[in-house]
Amino acid sequence: MNKEIEKQIEEAALKFKEMLAEQYERNSRIGAGVSAGASGKSSVVIGLAPGDGIGPVIMEETKAVLEELLKEELGSGRVSFKEIEGFTIENRLAKEETVPKDVLAQMEACDVILKGPTTTPNAAMGGVNLESANVFLRKYFDLFANVRPVKVDEEGIDWTFFRENTEGEYALGSRGIRLGDGTGDGLSVDFKVTTAEGSRRIAKAAYDFARANGKKKVSIVTKANIMKKTDGDFQQIALEVAKGYPEIETDTWFVDIMAANLVNKDIRSGFEVFVLPNLYGDIITDEAAQIQGGVGTAGSANIGTDMAMFEAIHGSAPRMVEDGIAHLANPASLITAAVMMLRHIGLGDKADRLESAVSKADAKLGSMMTGLPGGKSCKEFAKEVRSNL
Ligand code: IPM
Ligand code: MG
């Protein structure tokens, strides 16, 4: 081994030591559980953060829908909107900050945030390589429970995914180590982190949800046969949590066969609640959303102890903007996220109304929301939702 590589290994070991200490410290700081929601508050501030790409397009229509639905609440001050300024890829790149401090301050002044998708800067964008804003915000506000429902009524599918949202491959994803001497040889290492507290709280959130909603089964999904420490612990801890919920059936699956199960029409409607580590949750929920009609139909809640952020599960679709078809984006994802937000802030009746309005609009126009020339537009879909309110 040459001197240069030896030096890099020394440096990597030091960096690893630092990261371990930092992650251990985080484990000891982890909060107690999911917030009760902002339902107890007499007035709730909803931050609107449109994001990038198709984000502003779907946000504009979602806001119009909410303005109509929440006319009374907005009038009485029970609910107010706060537009978050400067949460754009241009501003983030210019300031070289994943989420600029003044943007974070605006967000912190809100009770909940409705967020559009953001573009993740890559090395090709002006040489600035920032962490994903989504990932950053989830960690910054410690939004550990990523809750993603998927429903297909005709098939009896009613799934709720509890994706751990702050750990796994995402905890240190931008801080891996590469060794190389410039000859083209080398190797890269990324890190995956599972903490006991982090696993316990997401498992508890899943089982509490199952109990509160009369669900009969929770499925724990990992790759514990290969990732023996991290996924092994996640599964073990989730199984321990399960003991506190004897009325609920628990099963454990590896993520590969679960991916297969979800396309197996004979068995898939038998699943109800899933709890999974971060990256598997990311992948499996895109698959599940596709079964429901596409990622453009799925909303998600990122819930922590003091803050909650609601968003579409898809990205900012820069290609749609480049191709001049951003107006064809499906707003159902963000509107569905708004349904989850309304429930979270204690406006369950309004959430039910909106949910049924989206579902009717989807039955009528869903198949024409292709996102391709000739498809129905974002505006047309939102108009249909409003007329169903
Ligand atoms: C999601 C997205 C994000 C993730 C990306 C945009 C960073 O795919 O919310 O599922 O990987 O979590
Ligand atoms: Mg994803």
User: What is the atom index within ligand 1 of the atom nearest the CA of 282?
Assistant: 10
The CA 312 to ligand 2 mean position distance, Å, reads 10
| Residue in this structure with the two tokens 């989850």, named with its chain if needed | 340
The CA 246 to ligand 2 mean position distance, Å, reads 32
Q: Both tokens of residue 252?
A: 């454990």
User: What is the atom index within ligand 1 of the atom nearest the CA of 134?
Assistant: 7
Output the pLDDT for position 16: 96
pTM higher than 0.85: yes
CB 221 within 8 A of CB 180: no
Output the pLDDT for position 40: 67
Q: Report the candidate in 145, 146, 141 with the shortest Cα–Cα distance to residue 298.
A: 146
Output the pLDDT for position 34: 58
Q: Which residues of the chain are modeled with pLDDT < 50?
A: none
Output the pLDDT for position 68: 97
Q: Both tokens of residue 216?
A: 């009969």
- CA-closest residue to ligand 1 atom 12: 282
User: What is the atom index within ligand 1 of the atom nearest the CA of 286?
Assistant: 10
Residue ranges near ligand 2 (ion) with Cβ within 5 Å: 282
Output the pLDDT for position 31: 61
Q: Both tokens of residue 337?
A: 């996220």
Residue 61 CA to its chain's centroid (Å) = 21
Q: Both tokens of residue 222?
A: 């990992």
For the CA of 287, the nearest ligand: 2
Alpha helix (H) ranges present in 123-183?
133-140
Q: Identify residue 27 by its one-letter amino acid code.
A: N
Which of 98, 137, 282, 283 is the pocket-test mutation for ligand 1 (most atoms within 8 Å of CB)? 282
User: What is the atom index within ligand 1 of the atom nearest the CA of 285?
Assistant: 10
Output the pLDDT for position 41: 76
pLDDT tens for residues 221-246? 999 999 999 999 999 999 999 999 99
- Distance, CA of 201 to CA of 241 (rounded, Å): 9
118 Cβ below 6 A of ligand 1: no
- Distance, CA of 300 to CA of 15 (rounded, Å): 34
370 Cβ below 6 A of ligand 1: no
